[in-house]
Amino acid sequence: MTDKQIPKPRPSIQTALPALLLGTATFNTQYVADPHSMPYRDIVARAISLGVTGFDTSPYYGPSEVLLGEALNALFTSPSDPLSRESIFLVTKAGRIAGDEFDYSPAWIRYSILRSLKRLHTAYLDLVYMHDVEFVPPADVLTAVRELRRLRDEEGVIRYVGISGFPAGVLAELAEMVLRETGEPLDAVLSYGHFTVQNRKLALPWVTEGGEQQEDLRKSSPLVRLKEAGVHVVLNASILGMGLLTRRGIPADPETPAGADSPFTKWHPSPSGLRLACKNLADIAEAAGERLESVAIRWALEEWARVGAAAGLGVDITSHAVPERRRVGATVCGVTSIPELEETVAEWQDVLAGLDRASESNGGCYGTERQKKVLELVKNELWPALGTWIDFVWDSPGEGYVNTRRPEDKGRVPDDGIIAAFELSKNSEENVGTQKPE
């Protein structure tokens, strides 16, 4: 392990985690026909040049880890201005192999982590989540979290440990279990699709009229439960509802030409009624001179910055716009092009620019005209238009789900040389007296 690859000390994750991360689930056939033809190297390089230094991926996302690793390695090995590993924050996941296949056994988790190290061209990962924890028994989650912590403490290949998933209540239950059973809280929880213009269930008391005064709702909120379970940071992801909150939307009928041509149709779990309701939002936004994507991105970024901080589950940041350290909610945003990236970052920078102008007199709005317009459009037009589909959540797992990983195959890992290469490298370091990182 080279000096540049040795993990940094472990301060509180609230001071280490960036407030905006680039999610690379989009580097996958679920979002684009051919991920290898995407300008993924340019996207990653442009993100870093714009100040986005956090990257979120998973082995479940098809070629995502490999593509992200290639893009980062080109920057790590640049002959003119190499990127230092410690200047970025790398996040991946473990445990989900395929749509209905999960293996949370210690042997598979260790293998998955070592494979991710190789794919991402790094000797350590800043944060690892157990992926989509609602699909396995709680006991399996506990076993896997313990293995991640062992990899953190004994092998030095992980800095922080967390869980990710869809049902916010399940995330809270599992965070409570981890604290109860181990005495140590999770560093981070990734919630996706539960804090969007359509679905606000992660933090309803904070985004409805008079919500902060609704004590009963606050006490039952997943955010309050996660905070009481000792979780340090909750990240918000899938702010476009995995494609629902876009002008293109998700075709309601997979048999139509539009549906047949859409990569989302087969796998997206939303019912047709919700897809049509969200498509209607695009028309309303257009009538107001806006793109639905822009409104959805801006609302989620600005509101989660506020709510994540208010719940005590945000991260500390400094920037040119906010020179003094401030706490904001952290968000993961996925893009498929540089214009999408630049739009997201521009919205985020405007959110930051308004932080210092926040006041009680404007109802918590950070103080830019853009934010005021978006908040009014969402509250007065988009939410009423959703009708019964507001805060609708589909089941996860869906009806009839069965883990296709056979019991006898759990813990069985490929003989592809990844573990052997890691052990050889570790033994070589020990033989030359390399000090193990703390």
**Can you list the positions of beta strands (E) in 232-360?**
233-237, 315-317, 326-328, 330-334
Condensed to tens digits (0 to 9), the pLDDT of residues 413-438 reads: 999 999 999 999 888 776 654 444 44
C-alpha dihedral, 173 to 178 to 179 to 181, nearest 10°: 120
> 23 with 10: CB under 8 angstroms?
no
At residue 364, the pLDDT reads 47
* Contact yes or no for 267/293 (Cβ under 8 A): no
Q: 158's torsion region: left (phi>0), alpha (psi -120 to 50) or beta?
A: beta
Given the DSSP bridges, would you call strands 125-130 and 158-165 parallel, antiparallel or unpaired?
Answer: parallel
Distance CA(271)–CA(356), nearest Å, equals 41
Checking if the pLDDT of 313 tops 80, the result is yes
- Alpha helix (H) ranges present in 193-337? 204-207, 215-220, 222-228, 257-261, 272-287, 292-310
pLDDT for residue 363: 47
Please tell me the predicted confidence (pLDDT) of residue 254.
66
Identify the pLDDT of residue 289: 96
Task: Read off the pLDDT band of 2 (50, 70, 90).
Answer: very low
pLDDT digits (tens, 9 = 90+) for 375-399: 999 999 999 999 999 999 999 999 9
Confidence of residue 3 (pLDDT cuts 50, 70, 90): very low
Q: CA-to-CA distance for 205 and 183, rounded, in angstroms?
A: 29
Is the torsion defined by CA of 388, 394, 395, 398 positive or negative?
positive
Three-state secondary-structure class, residue 157: coil
Report whether CATH 3.30.420.40 matches the domain 13-431: no
Res 146 pLDDT > 90? yes
| Residues tagged active-site | 61
Peptide bond preceding 269 in cis form (omega within 30 of 0)? no
Q: Compute CA 385 distance to the chain's CA centroid, rounded to the nearest angstrom.
A: 28
For the stretch 153-184, pLDDT in tens is: 999 999 999 999 999 999 999 999 999 999 99
**Paired tokens of 181:** 């059973």
Residue 191: CB partners within 8 Å, gap ≥ 6? 164, 165, 166, 168, 171, 202, 222, 234, 235, 236, 237
Each residue's pLDDT tens digit, 53-97: 999 999 999 999 999 999 999 999 999 999 999 999 999 999 999
Q: What is the largest CA-CA distance in the chain?
A: 68
Q: Mean pLDDT over residues 198-218, rounded?
A: 71
DSSP state of 410: T
The length of the chain is 438
Domain residue ranges in the chain: 13-431
Quote the CA–CA distance of 264 and 336 in Å, as a whole number.
14
Q: Which range is least confidently modeled, 2-6, 57-61, 351-355?
A: 2-6
pLDDT in tens, 254-295: 666 655 566 766 788 999 999 999 999 999 999 999 999 999
In whole angstroms, how large is the CA radius of gyration of the chain? 21
Count of alpha carbons within 13 angstroms of residue 194, beta-carbon side: 27
Tokens 């909120």 label which residue?
Answer: 221
The 10 Å Cβ neighbour count of residue 370 is 17
User: What one-character-per-residue DSSP string does 31-68 give?
Assistant: T-S-GGGS-HHHHHHHHHHTT--EEE--TTSTTHHHHH
Determine contact, residues 102/405, Cβ cutoff 8 Å. yes
% residues pLDDT > 90 (the chain): 76
- Joined together, the tokens standing for residue 350 give 């405007």
Answer yes or no: is pLDDT of 189 > 80: yes
14 and 316 Cβ atoms separated by less than 8 Å: yes
Residues 6+ apart with CB under 8 A from 248: 262
